[in-house]
Amino acid sequence: MLNNAKSKPNLKYCISFAVQSTFNVIFMEKQLEDLKAIREMMEKSTKFLSLSGMSGVLAGVTAVCGAAFAWFYLLQDPAATNFNRFQETLILLADALLVLTLSMSFGLYFSWKKAKKNHQKLMSRVFFTTLYHLALPLIAGGIFSLIFLYRGDIEMVASSTLVFYGLALVNVSKFTYPEVHYLGITEIVLGLLAAVFLNHGILFWTIGFGICHILYGLIMHNKYDSKK
Amino acid sequence: MKNIIANLNKAFESRVRLGIMSVLSVNAAVDFNTLKELLDVTDGNLASHLKALEGMEYVQSVKQFIGRKPNTQYTITELGRTSFQEHINALEQLLK
């Protein structure tokens, strides 16, 4: 009977303790989620998070195809065709512009799809800010490269496009995923190497615009696209 | 731990209000529709939370017309900024 008298209050204390602990755990979890929600919302409203890794992969594949065409059709020794320098330059320019247009289209398309999947508009304020910060060095680099082309310094074009593209990526990386920053640095290094090894411009171009894009695209796709 | 709970601001208990304060604290001014998209809530829900936050003077609004369409821009007030920061600090203290 002595045992009975002691075990009842014990049970009450146990239950009360269990309820308290459960409440504490739930409470703490909510606070943790609140903090996470705050950080996520701050990022979401200031960064362009609809960038898709798939657009990088496809841009890379397009670039490799464009480079392969240029190499096998125009640039290798002995030449497969008999174009003069001016015609060659024109065809290379058209090739590069085609790769650029296709890459940008892929970029926009996959970003649009990703935004839609997350119930968001693609053309948000962050989108236009990102575009502006990307476009500035890109357009400057484009004009710079065209000047080289016009002067007949076609060897410098691969290098200058890579360097300016890398700078554009570094510039835009603060508005989007951090991987873009490292891709940018890679492109800058490749561009500088291309300026040193002037005869291998097409090789560095293929690595920079082709292989690097595929690599980084896959990494980003795995990291950011499958979740949510 | 019990006395730290007192620093949590009851006004920010709702996830929507947390979201509003988060967005406004890192953007100069945000309009109603952008907030609605970011937070993924209905017009009425957002409007009522914004009205409450405005009542507490954590948020202020400027109504204007863009062409013929009405446009309301929201900004965080100094009071709102400090209150929200205190709330975040309290949360982080709690989870240490």
pTM here?
0.78
% of chain A surpassing 70 pLDDT: 93
**Whether residues A19 and A62 fall in one domain:** no
User: Do A175 and A74 reside in the same domain of the chain?
Assistant: yes
What does the pLDDT average to over A179-192? 95
B90 Cβ contact list (under 8 Å, min separation 6): B4, B7, B8, B9
Which two three-digit tokens encode residue B95? 């989870």
Considering chain A, what is the average pLDDT of its residues? 88
pLDDT per residue as tens digits for the range A42-100:
988 889 988 999 999 999 999 999 999 888 887 776 666 677 778 888 888 888 899 99
Give per-residue pLDDT as tens, B52-68: 999 999 999 999 999 99
- Best of B7, B81, B89, B94 to mutate (most A CBs within 10 Å, chain A): B94
Within an 8 Å CB–CB cutoff, is residue A36 touching chain B?
no
* Same-domain status, A112 and A176: yes
Total domains present in chain A: 2
A20 and A122 co-located in one domain: no
Closest residue in A to B37 (Cα–Cα): A120
CATH topology of domain B13-91: Arc Repressor Mutant, subunit A (1.10.10)
Indicate if A158 and A186 belong to the same structural domain.
yes
What pLDDT, on a 0 to 100 scale, did the predictor assign at position A28? Answer: 86
B40 vs A contacts (CB less than 8 Å): 119
Confidence of residue A104 (pLDDT cuts 50, 70, 90): very high
Query: Is there a single domain that holds both residue A99 and residue A128?
Result: yes
Q: How confident is the model at residue B3 (pLDDT cuts 50, 70, 90)?
A: low
Q: How far is A38 from chain B (nearest CA, A)?
A: 6
Can you tell me the mean pLDDT for A96-120?
A: 90
pLDDT at A117 over 80: yes
Same domain, residue pair A79 and A19: no
Shared domain check, A18 and A124: no
Q: Which residues of B touch A29 (CB under 8 A)?
A: none
Nearest CA in chain A to B84: A38
Does B50 score more than 90 pLDDT?
yes
User: pLDDT value at position A2?
Assistant: 53
pLDDT at A172 over 80: yes
**From the list B19, B37, B40, which residue is nearest A37 (CB)?**
B19
**A76-85, A174-183, A189-198, A215-224 — which is least confidently predicted?**
A76-85
Residue A221 is predicted with a pLDDT of: 92
- Contact call for B27 and A45, based on CB within 8 A: yes
Q: Give the pLDDT mean for A7-16.
A: 83
Q: Is A41 on the interface with B (CB under 8 A)?
A: yes
pLDDT at A228 over 50: no
Taking an 8 Å cut-off on Cβ atoms, the answer to whether B30 and A34 are in contact is no
pLDDT class of B2 with cuts at 50, 70, 90: low
DSSP-assigned states of every residue in chain A: -HHHHHHHHHHHHHHHHHHHHHHHHHHHHHHHHHHHHHHHHHHHHHS-----HHHHHHHHHHHHHHHHHHIIIIISSSPSS---HHHHHHHHHHHHHHHHHHHHHHHHHHHHHHHHHTT--SS-HHHHHHHHHHHHHHHHHHHHHHHHHHTT-HHHHHHHHHHHHHHHHHHHGGGS-THHHHHHHHHHHHHHHHHHSGGGHHHHHIIIIIIHHHHHHHHHIIIIIS--
Locate the chain A residue with the closest alpha carbon to B17: A38
Residues A62 and A36 in one domain: no
Domain that residue A88 falls in:
47-225
Out of A31, A38, A44, whose CB is closest to B95? A31
**B 28-87: CB under 8 A from A:** 30, 34, 37-40
Q: Tell if the CB–CB gap between B38 and A37 is shorter than 8 Å.
A: no
